[in-house]
Amino acid sequence: MMNKNPKNNFAQGNGGEIHQCAEDGYDTMTTQQGTPISDDQNTLRAGARGPALMEDFHYREKMFHFDHERIPERIVHARGYGAHGYFETTKAIPELTKADIFQRVGEKTPLFVRFSTVAGNKGSFDLARDARGFAVKFYTKQGNWDLVGNNIPVFFIQDAIKFPDLVHAVKQAPDRDFPQAQSAHDNFWDFISLMPETMHMIMWIMSDRGIPRSFRFMEGFGIHTFRFINEKNESHYVKFHWKPKLGMQSVVWNEAVKINGDDPDFHRRDLWNSIQSGNYPEWELGVQVFDQEWADKFDFDVLDATKLIPEEDLPIQIIGRMVLNKMPDNFFAETEQVAFCTQHVVPGIDFTDDPLLQGRNFSYLDTQLKRLGGPNFTHIPVNAPKCPFHNFQQDGHMAQHNPKGRVNYEPNGWEKEIAGPRESHKYGFTTFRQPVEGEKTRLRPESFADHYSQARQFFISQTKVEQQHIIAALTFELSKCEVVKIRERVVAHLRNIDENLAKAVADNLRLDKMPEPFPSHVKTKQDLRVSDALSILKTRKETFKGRKLGIFITDGIEASELDNLEQIFKQEGATVERIAIQVGGIVDSKGNRIMAQHQIDGGQSPLFDAVASLTSDKAIDAASKNAAVRDFFTDAYAHYKYIGYNSSSKKLLEKIGLADKMDEGFVNLGDKASDEQFLKSCRNFRYWERPDGA
């Protein structure tokens, strides 16, 4: 292996080749078997121009390993990014569960999190409209617990048998191998339009939840109803929720498209930079806990994964917090090889009869066997428990742990010293005992039959701005469908959700006539109340902490103006980055060089949450003629962003053509009070009152 900090000393070989000199302080390069290597530049040949020789074991080992560097990528959730951190229990709940992780306030449990998009391949972009995976592996004292969820609390389907069809429909078509990382195509909407149960999830995906600003600003959900089991073997139902400490935030669609062009690794870079700078992302873990009596009174079946429990109906209690504070040392070894399985639970947490959860419990283990080569994927460090573990499992592909001694079976009658592990009725996992009866059948329960009521509740709970975004998203997606009948079928479903929603989409698509509502076994409930918790804008936190301000600067500015503005935003906990015509920065009014983090055409406004402009009069003409500068400000305006400007920049905005559009989303800068007013405005994130936005 190479030393991470080698000296720059090389020796020239006879034939011009370069060799590293172990004698000068380098670690000696070796084969995987530890054999020192004398030449890593040339294969072994029969003569300088002769054929390569098969006995060149170094070349064969090196190429063998290279040829097998890639493992099969995940069929779904292929594009992911992960981080290490810890979970801290903030409220002990022994009355609800015997799970050790929830017994002691203040105790920290190590964990690993992987965020992901669902539909795209590994090389796709970050800002696709999609659900986001939110999977957490807790390394508890009782073994690993995997809470494998999404940033959306419901799912498309009710029964796992439809999962292959869903994924086939949304992924690229088998004959043409596109579209990639998007759902705006005929196959997906054809499937959706024939599956009424998908309508609730469709509302979420088409909302701003489908294009989050950052992993740090999105919620996470366990999706399914699980069980808590306490020491008395009493059962309570539980749903898990992750709440971002900085609140939720999304982008607008036009912005997402441009971010994917500017920086397809936008979410990855954001998480990396946040952790590397010490601004550790944090979420609170909350639970909704209820008993069978409450479940029986609820309007919907708690085992239906296409349904949720509104927070207003059952408040969430916070029991812990998660902090991410370390990036992996190696992406492949950890983020790519981490294996999450819904069936990885610990004593005190158990399953329910949710048919989608039951199917996932089977499928995930099968997937890991395929991806990671065999049953020993738990031997990979990122997947291995951090507590003691003992069993008689042995051998298999890439086995790292095998029982020692002669005993590899149980029961056995050998002495304790060599007998090996035994089961523990006191501490071991026990499945909750419940009566099970019924005929063998392939039917959905009638309690799963209402496919539109909660979809309607979600839509009416959004602000007018968010509703318009849903309408625009549906219009865009369906406009990409070439088959008109598919568009009509989707609109027929929308009529069961909200008539105004359906009419708006139909008008935007210019359908010749409104289709009849799609046949439904259950009439949509009209009396479900608005749930503010379902809206991003209604739950906004008034802080700019964790966000990013981009400041466009030119030659000739007063350095004090820049320093004062940066200081105010950094005190808030925001990141501030400078953008200039050239990445080398600018020269201020006193002749001092001020460096920039971005060149203007590589640091466009979609990459920032708000923008400001500090210019000098002498730089206005040149800046106004620069296409990238014009895009910087017109995009910021179109994306509803707050724009700060000094007196000189007002002339620039006039030349760009924004003079007659300067609304209250523009804030004049120049002194501490106006800078603080700009920060106060930016805490709103967007100036949604702007009429000409994207």
Token pair 């995940």 in the structure block, residue: 74
Active-site annotation holder among 58, 84, 144, 150: 150
Neighbour-count burial for 271-303, b at 16+ CB within 10 Å, e otherwise:
beebbeeebbbbbbbbbbbbeeebbeeebbbbb
Q: Which of 629, 90, 144, 624 is nearest to 368 (CA)?
A: 144
Give backbone dihedrals phi and psi of 621, rounded to 5 degrees, phi first: -60, -50
Which amino acid does the sequence have at 380?
I
Q: Given 58, 77, 451, 598, which residue is catalytic?
A: 77
What is the sign, positive or negative, of the torsion defined by CA atoms of 663, 667, 670, 673? positive
Neighbours of 628 (CB within 10 A): 15
Structure tokens at 253: 């669609």
Other CB atoms within 10 A of residue 423 CB: 9
For residue 213, which of 237, 180, 248 has the smallest C-alpha distance? 248
**Residue 186 phi, psi (nearest 5):** -60, -45
**How many other CB atoms are found less than 10 A from the CB of residue 60?**
14
Give the separation between CA 90 and CA 321, rounded to whole angstroms: 7
User: HSE (CB half, 13 Å, CA atoms) of 31?
Assistant: 14
Task: Compute φ and ψ for 166, nearest 5 degrees.
Answer: -60, -50
- Token digits of residue 200: 């609730």
Q: What is the residue whose two structure tokens read 């020692």?
A: 404
**Which residues have CB under 8 Å from 589's CB, separation 6+?**
556, 557, 558, 559, 616
Among 465, 484, 493, residue whose Cα is nearest residue 201: 493
Taking alpha carbons only, the member of 116, 114, 87, 115 closest to residue 103 is: 87
d(CA 208, CA 460): 14
Whether 496 sits among the annotated catalytic residues: the reply is: no
CB 90 within 8 A of CB 317: no
Other beta carbons within 10 angstroms of residue 464's beta carbon come to 9
What is d(CA 360, CA 163) in angstroms, rounded to the nearest whole number?
A: 10
Alpha-carbon separation of residue 269 from 272, 572, 598 (angstroms)? 5, 21, 15
Residue 315 sits at the vertex; the CA angle it makes with 314 and 320, to the nearest 5 degrees, is 130
Answer for the pair 324, 281: CB distance below 8 angstroms, yes or no: yes
Q: Give 242's DSSP letter.
A: E
150 is a catalytic site residue: yes
For 352-457, strand residue ranges (E) read: none
Residues serving a catalytic function are 77, 150
